[in-house]
């Protein structure tokens, strides 16, 4: 009989790649989505459109323990990947209460439901490099102290400790993946990488004149989401639960990302990018760089896609998307 997996946030970037990966491994894939997503699949489920007939979706909310409990009780998963969260750092400054409540309670609800109904189910928590924030050392590893700089980062530190506590207090096979920034053509448009690649494609095609951004000097360790979901699965296949940093070990500035993206479409970025103070954060994480050597040593994980490949993959995907949109409009007119 195939193993059952339950993914919260199945309709997000990571949920979509993870679902594809687990379907290929023969898992029966169940996912949690908000009711509104089921009512409007065109807008909410575009990332998993191509596998909708292969996965089973359940409506539930991170804000409701009974709704999560019911799905866990019904599915009885062998593995659970808890990816759902309010994950946009900037927004967490605007509504810190909802980010903190949803992210911390949501994680607690999923952990508790698993403890009550399927205590043998392996659990993965999507921890984040935002937990390191104003990091005390570089590169950051599993022993680097946390100094979160946003309500989002604080909520992830709490989720990490909850996961650790359920492991230590109740014996759950619970792991945290401290994932550094991971991107792809399925990234949300609010994140800086997608905002840049989307704008570079639009400007190239004459659909847009400028791109407004905040801090261009911030540096991140950017990897490819498709590589990172494999690490999530590998963590849960080990003999004992543990926490792992997943990163590329390289750091690049937002400016470098822009340069490469605009180079890909043959444009000089300086003519189009405008720095807008409004887009600066009240507290910034200036630089992140991860040390993934524990994951590499323990289960042989390392990133496959490098920085340049990632940027060009994203820009080319956005160019292609706009070209197809234009073609669809022309075809509709004919
Ligand atoms: O793309 P970002 O919004 O990602 P951020 O804040 O690093 O967080 C992402 O990665 C985390 C992993 O460490 C996840 F946990 C989290 O959920 C999310 O996926 O911003 C990256 C950098 C920041 O320093 C920001 O100040 O880009 C800078 N930036 C400059 N201009 C901008 C902009 N970010 C955004 N979103 N929009 C701008 O216009």
What is the CA(89)–ligand 1 centre distance, in A?
7
From the CB of 163, is ligand 1 less than 6 Å away?
A: no
Residues 231 and 323 in one domain: no
What is the CA(316)–ligand 1 centre distance, in A?
21
Alpha-carbon dihedral sign for residues 253, 313, 187, 174: negative
324 CB-side CA count, 13 A:
6
Q: How confident is the model at residue 68 (pLDDT cuts 50, 70, 90)?
A: very high
40-65 residue pLDDT tens = 999 999 999 999 999 999 999 999 99
122-149 residue pLDDT tens = 999 999 999 999 999 999 999 999 999 9
Alpha-carbon dihedral sign for residues 22, 164, 191, 96: positive
CA distance 14 to 216: 25
pLDDT at 12 over 80: yes
Residues 228 and 211 in one domain: no
Residues 256 and 154 in one domain: no
Looking at residue 99, its pLDDT comes to: 97
Mutate to test the pocket of ligand 1, among 13, 107, 220, 232 (most ligand atoms within 8 A of CB): 220
89-128 residue pLDDT tens = 999 999 999 999 999 999 999 999 999 999 999 999 999 9
Q: How confident is the model at residue 331 (pLDDT cuts 50, 70, 90)?
A: confident
* Encoded tokens for 331: 């075809």
Q: Locate the ligand 1 atom nearest the alpha carbon of residue 194 and give its number.
A: 1
User: Which residues, 6 or more positions from 23, have their beta carbon under 8 angstroms from its beta carbon?
Assistant: 29, 51, 54, 55
Looking at residue 198, its pLDDT comes to: 98
User: 37-70 burial string, b = 16+ CB within 10 Å, else e?
Assistant: beeeeeeebebbeebeeebebbebbbeebebbbb
- Mean pLDDT, rounded, for 291-310: 98
User: Which residues, 6 or more positions from 334, have their beta carbon under 8 angstroms from its beta carbon?
Assistant: none
Q: Is residue 48 part of a domain?
A: yes
Looking at residue 150, its pLDDT comes to: 98
Residues 22 and 147 in one domain: yes
Residues 33 and 87 in one domain: yes
Residues 200 and 163 in one domain: no
Looking at residue 67, its pLDDT comes to: 98
SS3 state at 132: coil
Residues 40 and 178 in one domain: yes
Nearest C-alpha neighbor of 152 from the set 86, 215, 105, 107 = 86
Residue linked to tokens 């496959």:
304
Residue 235: CATH number of its domain: 3.40.50.720
What is the CA(191)–ligand 1 centre distance, in A?
6
- Beta carbons of 217 and 280 less than 8 angstroms apart: no
pLDDT at 328 over 90: no
186-202 residue pLDDT tens = 999 999 999 999 999 99
247-279 residue pLDDT tens = 999 999 999 999 999 999 999 999 999 999 999
Cα three-residue angle 145-150-153, rounded to 5 degrees? 50
Residues 80 and 206 in one domain: no
Residues 33 and 176 in one domain: yes
pLDDT at 334 over 70: no
From the CB of 87, is ligand 1 less than 6 Å away?
A: yes
The pTM for the full model equals 0.97
**Which structural domain range is residue 58 located in?**
4-183+223-246
The catalytic residue positions are: 128, 130, 152
CA distance 125 to 157: 11
140-182 residue pLDDT tens = 999 999 999 999 999 999 999 999 999 999 999 999 999 999 9
From the CB of 264, is ligand 1 less than 6 Å away?
A: no
Domains contained in the chain, number: 2
CA distance 86 to 100: 9
Mutate to test the pocket of ligand 1, among 144, 157, 191, 251 (most ligand atoms within 8 A of CB): 191
From the CB of 215, is ligand 1 less than 6 Å away?
A: yes
From the CB of 19, is ligand 1 less than 6 Å away?
A: no
């Amino acid at each position: 009989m195939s193993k059952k997996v339950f993914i919260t946030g199945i309709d997000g970037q990571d949920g979509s790649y993870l679902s594809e990966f687990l379907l290929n491994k023969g898992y029966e894939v169940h996912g949690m989505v908000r009711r509104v997503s089921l009512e409007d699949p065109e807008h909410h489920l575009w990332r998993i459109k191509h596998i909708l007939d292969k996965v089973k979706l359940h409506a539930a909310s991170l804000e409701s323990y009974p709704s999560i409990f019911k799905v866990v009780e019904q599915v009885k998963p062998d593995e659970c990947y808890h990816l759902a969260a309010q994950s946009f750092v900037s927004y967490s400054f605007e509504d810190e209460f909802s980010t903190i409540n949803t992210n911390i309670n949501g994680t607690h609800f999923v952990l508790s439901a698993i403890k009550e109904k399927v205590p043998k189910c392996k659990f993965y928590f999507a921890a984040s490099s935002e937990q390191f924030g104003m990091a005390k050392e570089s590169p950051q590893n599993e022993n680097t102290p946390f100094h979160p700089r946003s309500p989002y980062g604080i909520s992830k530190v709490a989720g990490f400790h909850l996961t650790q506590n359920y492991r230590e207090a109740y014996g759950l096979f619970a792991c945290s993946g401290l994932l550094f920034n991971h991107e792809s053509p399925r990234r949300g448009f609010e994140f800086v990488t997608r905002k840049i690649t989307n704008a570079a494609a639009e400007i190239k095609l004459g659909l847009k004149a400028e791109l407004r951004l905040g801090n261009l000097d911030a540096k991140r360790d950017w990897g490819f989401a498709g590589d990172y979901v494999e690490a999530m699965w590998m963590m849960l296949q080990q003999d004992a639960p543990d926490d792992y940093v997943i990163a590329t070990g390289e750091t690049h500035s937002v400016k470098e990302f822009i340069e490469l993206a605009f180079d890909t479409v043959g444009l000089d970025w300086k003519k189009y990018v405008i720095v807008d103070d409004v887009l600066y954060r009240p507290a910034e994480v200036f630089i992140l760089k991860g040390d993934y050597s524990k994951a590499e040593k323990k289960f042989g994980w390392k990133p496959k896609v490098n920085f340049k490949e990632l940027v060009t993959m994203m820009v080319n995907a956005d160019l292609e998307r706009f070209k197809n949109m234009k073609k669809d409009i022309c075809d509709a007119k004919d």
